[in-house]
């Protein structure tokens, strides 16, 4: 009687071994899974991406399964725990963040570089609550993402130093202020997103005016403040929670 080991072995490598997973192309993954399984894996990732972005890492694998019109068993078979799913989804985003930092260093005008960094970073982190939690927090990301995150700090330090040396950025600013500012922008976003999804930019403009040395003039704010009605709805929709 014949046995069919190729299936088993390849599957095990692709699914379980954290060392190798990064070297594998998605094509390999698709080949080693049955067609339906491979398609469903993609649907899981898409479902997770959108739910994480909208509601943060707190969403359950059950939520993700239902959102993808799949049974929970299917999701748990593919991603035995949330860490693996988070890693699969956010590694790329963190890499992109590093790229953003590198690019910010290439600006001739260091203040412009700093601006680029902050705005791009905050844009990514306000649009995607999951990413924000990955960057600012410590849950579900043991392993590779934690390592990648360590590369971001020194880049920001360098960007900040350049901007200060050239006299654009106030001297008492510190690279470690960046994550706190990201947390603040995130809070503005969470508070107002139901009525004005880009309102956070208004407050970033204010903060940037507070960071600029000898600013020539006030930055015009692109977003209008909330009106009375919007504020009331923001209050109602806002959930504080733990």
Partner DNA sequence: CGTAAATGGAGATATTCCCTCCGTTTATGA
Partner DNA sequence: TCATAAACGGAGGGAATATCTCCATTTACG
Task: Tell me which of its own copies, DNA, none is bound by residue 36, counting a contact when its beta carbon lies within the kind-specific cut-off of 5 to 8 angstroms.
Answer: DNA
- Residue 13 is a binding residue for DNA (CB under 7 A): no
**Closer Cβ to DNA, 6 or 171, answer by number:** 6
Dist CA 221 CA 128 (whole Å): 23
Give the shortest CB-207-to-its own copies separation in angstroms: 6
- Residue 211 is a binding residue for its own copies (CB under 8 A): yes
Output the six-digit token pair for 159: 């960007």
- Residue 242 is a binding residue for its own copies (CB under 8 A): yes
Residue among 83, 111, 72, 107 nearest 21 (CA):
83
Residues in contact with DNA, counted by CB under 7 A, come to a total of 27
- Residue 229 is a binding residue for DNA (CB under 7 A): no
Q: What pairs with residue 169 in β-bridges?
A: 212
Dist CA 165 CA 144 (whole Å): 33
Three-class DSSP category at 182: helix
Dist CA 35 CA 26 (whole Å): 13
Three-class DSSP category at 220: coil
Give the shortest CB-25-to-DNA separation in angstroms: 17
State the DSSP code for 107: -
Give the shortest CB-237-to-DNA separation in angstroms: 17
- Residue 124 is a binding residue for its own copies (CB under 8 A): no
Q: Which residue has the tokens 């006299």?
A: 167
The alpha-helical segments, DSSP class H, found in the chain are: 5-16, 18-21, 26-32, 35-55, 61-67, 72-78, 82-104, 110-127, 129-136, 144-149, 152-165, 177-192, 200-211, 228-237
- Residue 164 is a binding residue for DNA (CB under 7 A): no
Residues 17-56 that bind its own copies (CB under 8 A): 55-56
Residues 122-161 that bind DNA (CB under 7 A): none
Q: What pairs with residue 212 in β-bridges?
A: 169
Residues 29-48 that bind DNA (CB under 7 A): 33-37, 40
**Closer Cβ to its own copies, 33 or 148, answer by number:** 148
Alpha-carbon dihedral 10, 15, 20, 22, rounded to 10 degrees: 120
- Residue 74 is a binding residue for DNA (CB under 7 A): yes
Instruction: Give the residues lining the site for DNA (CB under 7 A).
Output: 2, 4, 7-8, 11, 33-37, 40, 58, 60-62, 69-74, 76-78, 80-82
Instruction: Give the residues lining the site for its own copies (CB under 8 A).
Output: 55-58, 132-133, 136-139, 153, 170, 172-174, 176-177, 179-181, 183-188, 190-192, 199, 202-203, 205-211, 213, 218, 220-221, 225-228, 230-231, 235-236, 238-242
């Amino acid at each position: 009687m014949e046995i069919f080991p190729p299936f088993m072995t390849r599957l095990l490598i692709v699914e379980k071994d954290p060392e190798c997973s990064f070297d594998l192309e998605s094509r390999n993954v698709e080949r080693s899974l049955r067609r339906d399984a491979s398609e469903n894996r993609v649907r899981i990732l898409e479902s997770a991406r959108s739910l994480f972005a909208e509601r943060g890492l707190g969403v359950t694998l059950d939520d993700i399964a239902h959102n993808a019109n799949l049974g929970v068993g299917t999701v748990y078979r593919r991603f035995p725990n949330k860490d693996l799913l988070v890693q699969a989804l956010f590694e790329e985003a963190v890499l992109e963040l590093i790229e953003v930092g590198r690019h910010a260093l290439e600006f001739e005008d260091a203040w412009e570089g700093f601006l680029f960094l902050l705005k791009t970073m905050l844009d990514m982190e306000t649009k995607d609550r999951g990413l924000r939690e990955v960057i600012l927090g410590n849950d579900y990301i043991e392993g590779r993402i934690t390592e990648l995150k360590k590369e971001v700090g020194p880049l920001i330090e360098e960007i900040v130093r350049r901007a200060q040396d050239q006299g654009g950025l106030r001297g008492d600013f510190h690279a470690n202020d960046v994550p706190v500012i990201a947390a603040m922008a995130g809070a503005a976003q969470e508070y107002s997103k139901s009525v004005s999804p880009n309102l956070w930019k208004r407050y970033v403009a204010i903060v940037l005016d507070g960071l600029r040395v000898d600013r020539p003039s006030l930055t015009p704010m692109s977003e209008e403040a909330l009106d009375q009605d919007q504020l009331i709805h923001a209050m109602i929709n806002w959930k504080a929670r733990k």
